[in-house]
Structure formats: structure tokens, C-alpha cells
Amino acid sequence: MLSKSKMREPKTFWALATVFSFLLITSNALAADLSKGESIVKNQCSACHKFEGSPESKFNLKGPDLMWGGNKYQRPWLLRWLQGKEELLYPNGYRWDSPSKGFKHPALSKVDSIAVADYFEAKLLDSRVKKNAIDLSEFTERESQFGAEIYKQFSCLGCHQIKEDGKTIGGPISANLFDSGNRYNVDWVYRFALNPQDFTPHSGEYLADLSGLGVRYLVGYLMTLGVDDYKYYEPWKSDAFKKSDAKNGAKVYKTYCTQCHGMEGKGDGPGAQGLDPKPAVHAEMALSDMPEDYLYNLLFYGGKSVGKSPNMPDWGLTIPTQDFADLIAFLRSNFKGEEAPKAEAVTKVASKGSGTCPQPRKTKSAPVSFQSKKNPLSDSDSHIAAGKALFMKKAKPLACMNCHGKNADGTGPLGKALKPKPRNFTCAPMMKDISDGQMFWIIKNGSAGTGMMAFKTLKDKEIWQLIKYIRNQSN
């Protein structure tokens, strides 16, 4: 800061001199406080923590290194920790090679903890940690889900516990990450993730093979843990979408989409040949009614991200933001499902909903081991209610209601254009022949070549809750 001031023009001298004397006064006051913080650290902390020098093997340490303490923590967390208001982080004690039961961390008064935090922030800085090296202002919920998948795929859960549905899961080797979104400074986690061994050599920590985007997803995910009201970015509410231009969107569609989906969206582009399943027939679909997050994620991250064919590419890196918004405006205004074929000839048998009953059904059978599975949940109202919430709203990538309909009779808005039609769960004579295990398998894996996608992110229990709800519709 001072060196920058020195480079200024002479005519700003007076202004600078005033600023300067102000800085001197405040820095004197701060220096007094810093010396208090420094002496606490020297006298009460340095027996267990290192505050200078380079990191050493964990097997020589008594507590985590704090050379970068000024970069690592969010101040409110640090103040709580120093006053003894936070739970310990290491389930087996800090040193996994020599577990310490009953350890209590020393606690400071509020005044002393402020002095120590000031000292950390002024003196314990690590030049490798760069401010704003990662920008999460546009971090989306979908990106966080990718991060959660990486967390499990790359073994993080093997050594760091987290909370899932209020339960503690994972191995106890290192710090728990229950509350990492309130604890870490994002710039530190980002730098740490680029190479953990720079900070904790010979500790047992490992380096995951992640690309730049993978690191973004993972770090962003860690910053959501413990933060109940994390504000995800919702791209479809951004300015680009507010000023979108469907005319330009039509050009984008021609450039990127017609090769497979055809000039008029009939699914008959030159690229469609040889694809199984075939590209969707937009001309018959109510893209106008598709939930905004689903349509956005499908186009941005591709078919595979929503349990559909990976032959539907991810366009996020290819199409610039404004063109992307324009494209979606075009899809919504152009494809409203009006040309949808009339409902199949109805052979109506007594069923609650208005859908066809029974339906022609060619769905692939689940493997025998699944066919005979019975729903392990009780008939309690709470399971049925949980199933209903998933069905109507919560299931990702797309709530069942959108295709199977609000009344579960197979007449949802996005089901109209589908061949075959979504299952009509109100049709008792048909449903009695579909076993619990069959449904479980289809919900998990999808019905290849139909609109029924794979719901890979649903937990087993959630699938059984959905099946409770579905059964309840034909009883």
C-alpha cells in the first residue's frame, strides 16, 4: 500500500500527507494490539502450533500449523474457536498416529481472542494464497451437486466426515468438514486444493486428479457445507435472460441444434441417423413448460447430467452467455407442444385419473434379483408424504409430476409429446402387475429409449418413498 502511494504525483502530496498521518496513528494503535496478540501467541500457543517457518511432517506436530492462520479462517469462526465455542474438528484427536482422548483446547477471553485474530490477520499471511483467485459469485446449485459427487468419487469422504440428512458419515482420519463453509476463507481452500502437500506434507492427505472445473466444483461445494441459506446463482434470472432475443436464438438453434434435431425441430437432422435414443422431437414438446433449471442444466451440462443420452452434448463452454439466453428464449417461444398428437385411443377402465388405462406397456423387465424386492418401508403417512414431495417438486433433475402429472395419471405437461406415454399410476388393473422391485430399478436406471430418465442422485430410501406414494394412487 505504501509503495503504491510513493508512486503518486507530487500534487497529491497534501492529501497523501493527511492520509499518512492517519495511517501512522491507526498503525500505532494497531501495533499496540498486535504486540498483545503476539505475546499471547508466543506464550500460550507456540508450544503446540508453528507460526513461522515451513511446514513439517505431521508426525512432529502437536497441533495444526498456523503460519497461514491469517488466510485460512473466516474471522467470526476464528473468534468462536479461540473462545472455546466450537467443537473439536478431529474425531480421533489431531494426530491419527497417537489418538488423544479428552483433549480440551485452551480458551481465551473475548478481548484476547480479538487481539489474536488481529495478529493472525496482520502477520500470519502466506503469499501463495491469492485474493479472489476463485470467483464463486456465479456458483450454481448444479455445480455444487457436481462437487458433492466429486467429494465421494475422489475419496474425500474416506477421511473427512460430513453431515448428510443430519447424520455424520465418512472416515475419521482428518478434520471434519461439517461447517467448512463458515470456517474457511475460500482463497485458502482453493490454494490448498491445488496441492495439499504444500501445506500438510507427510500427513496422509492426498492430491486428487482434478481439472480446473473439478476444483471449482469441489471448492464451491465445500463452501456451502454448514451454510443453510447459501445463495446459489440462478443463471436464468440474470440480465442476459431479461434482455434475451428469440430471433437471435433461432440463429443459434440453426447453427448448433438442427444438425441433430432437424430444421423444424422434428428430430430428423442429418446427425439423427444412427443415434439411439433419437434426438427429441422439439416440434411436439412443450419446451415452454419445462422447469427453467431443468432446461438450463440440460443444455449447459448435457444429456448425461440429467440422466439422458450423452449424445445430447453439453453446450456451456461452446455457446456464449447471451446467445445461450437467446436460444432458451427461442425454444420457449417456438416449441409449445401444440402439434402434440391426440391422446391414444382410450380404452377407459375405472381409474381415478383421466389418463389411458390400461396403457400399452413394453418396458424392459428389471433383473430377476430386483423383480422380487419388496418395499422395506412401513405404510406410515410420513413416507407417503415424503414420496409426494419428491414426486411433485423435489426430485432432481426433473420432478415426476412434470411427466406423470399432478394426479399421477400420466398426463403431465412434458409427457404429452412422449412416445411411449408416461405411466398412469392411477390405473389399478395395470399397476397390480408391476412389482415394487421393477419400479425401483426403472426409477434408478431409467427406461432406455423412452422419456423416463435415470434418477441417479435419488437415495434408495427416497426411491422407496416414491414407490409408497405411487402405490397409494391406485389403492
Closer residue to ligand HEC, CB minimum distance, 8 or 364: 364
Q: Does 303 bind ligand HEC (CB under 6 A)?
A: yes
- Judged by beta carbon, residue 78 or residue 140, the one nearer ligand HEC is 78
By CB under 6 A, what part of segment 95-154 binds ligand HEC? 103, 105-106, 108, 116, 154
Return the biggest CA–CA distance within the chain: 92
Minimum distance from residue 416 beta carbon to ligand HEC (Å): 10
Q: Fill in the per-residue mask, 280 to 299: x = in contact with ligand HEC (CB under 6 A), - = not in contact.
A: x------x----------xx
User: Least separation, in Å, of the C-beta of 224 and ligand HEC?
Assistant: 13
Asked whether position 89 contacts ligand HEC by CB under 6 A, the answer is yes
Nearest CB to ligand HEC, comparing residues 20 and 103: 103
- Nearer to ligand HEC by Cβ, of 71 and 140: the residue is 71
**Residue window 147-186: x/- pattern of binding to ligand HEC, with contact defined by CB under 6 A:** -------xxx-xxx------------xxx-----------
The yes or no reply on residue 392 touching ligand HEC (CB under 6 A) is no
Instruction: Output 89 or 114, the one with its CB closest to ligand HEC.
Output: 89
Distances (CA, A) of 154 to 151, 169, 218, 222, 396: 6, 15, 10, 14, 22
- From residue 240 to residue 259, what is the string marking binding to ligand HEC with x (rule CB under 6 A)? ----------------xx-x
Window 324-383: residues binding ligand HEC (CB under 6 A): 327, 331, 361, 363
Minimum distance, C-beta of residue 297 to ligand HEC, in the bound complex (Å): 10
At closest approach, how far in Å is the CB of 213 from ligand HEC?
14
Q: Which of 162, 384, 434, 454 binds ligand HEC (CB under 6 A)?
A: 434
**CA proximity to 416, closest of 356, 456, 328, 352:** 356
Residues 15-74 binding ligand HEC (CB under 6 A) are 40, 44-45, 47-49, 58, 62-64, 69
Nearer to ligand HEC, 82 or 329 (CB): 82
CA–CA dist 305, 31 (Å, integer): 54
Q: Which of 65, 89, 83 is nearest to 188 (CA)?
A: 65
* Residue 38 to residue 124: CA distance in whole angstroms: 11
The residue from 225, 395, 408, 427 that contacts ligand HEC (CB under 6 A) is 395
- In whole angstroms, the minimum distance from the beta carbon of 236 to ligand HEC comes to 14
CA 18, CA 440: separation in Å to the nearest integer?
73
Q: Which span sits near ligand HEC by CB under 6 A: 9-17, 121-129, 234-242, 436-444?
A: 436-444
The minimum distance between CB 449 and ligand HEC, in angstroms, equals 8
Closest to ligand HEC by CB, 241 vs 455, is 455
* Minimal distance, residue 6 CB to ligand HEC, in Å: 35
Q: 203 burial class (0-12, 13-18, 19+ CB within 10 angstroms)? A: buried
Shortest distance in whole angstroms from residue 166 CB to ligand HEC: 21
Per rule CB under 6 A, is residue 450 in the interface with ligand HEC?
A: yes
Of residues 258-277, which lie at the interface with ligand HEC (CB under 6 A)? 259-261, 271, 275, 277
What would the x/- binding string for ligand HEC be over residues 200 to 239, using CB under 6 A?
x--xxxx-x---------x---------------------
Identity of the residue, 16 or 182, whose beta carbon is nearer to ligand HEC in the bound complex: 182
Q: Which of 301, 320, 295 is nearest to 145 (CA)?
A: 301
Nearer to ligand HEC among residue 140 and residue 156 (C-beta): 156
Contacts of 337 (CB under 8 A, 6+ apart): 284, 285, 286, 287, 288, 289, 413, 416, 417
Alpha carbon distance 421, 423 (integer Å): 6
How many residues bind to ligand HEC according to rule CB under 6 A?
Answer: 89
Task: State which residue, 8 or 459, has the beta carbon closest to ligand HEC.
Answer: 459
CB of 377 to ligand HEC, least distance (A): 14
1 vs 112, beta carbon nearer ligand HEC: 112
